[in-house]
Amino acid sequence: MSGFVRRRPFTSVFLLLLILLFGWIWQERVALWAFPDIISAYTAKEYCSCRYVMNNDAGYCRGYVKQWLPFSGFTDDEASKRVTVSGMGRSNSAQWIGERQGCRLQP
């Protein structure tokens, strides 16, 4: 084993880093699995709050919720004050409940 490390030090360091990376991924697998859902839920909730609680313009709110990870689908139903956002394979909706409750994510 030590002969391999001496002959190929860069490969050895790369393999060690790869093993550490996979270990970290395994340890954080629950959080990493939830990440795609967080993107669409955050965008839907923040847009709904910006648009229907703060009564801002739709264009302003679209810029407000823009992220470095783009979303693939976006629907703003003004009649029911419901926002649906799809991104990274997940979809979430937020709806304005009332003046005192604001917006809430829908199950």
- Of the two residues 67 and 80, the one the predictor is more confident about is 80
**Burial grade of 11 (CB within 10 A; 0-12, 13-18, 19 or more):** exposed
Q: What is the pLDDT of residue 34?
A: 84
The mean pLDDT of 53-79, rounded to a whole number, is 90
How far is C-alpha 20 from the geometric centre of its chain's CA atoms? 25
User: For 8-42, what is each residue's pLDDT tens digit?
Assistant: 889 999 999 999 999 999 999 998 888 888 889 99
Give the end-to-end CA distance of the chain in Å, rounded to a whole number: 54
Q: What is the pLDDT of residue 44?
A: 94
Q: What is the pLDDT of residue 6?
A: 83
Q: What is the pLDDT of residue 69?
A: 73
Q: What is the pLDDT of residue 1?
A: 65
User: For 76-95, what is each residue's pLDDT tens digit?
Assistant: 999 999 999 998 889 999 99
Q: What is the pLDDT of residue 33?
A: 86
Q: What is the pLDDT of residue 35?
A: 84
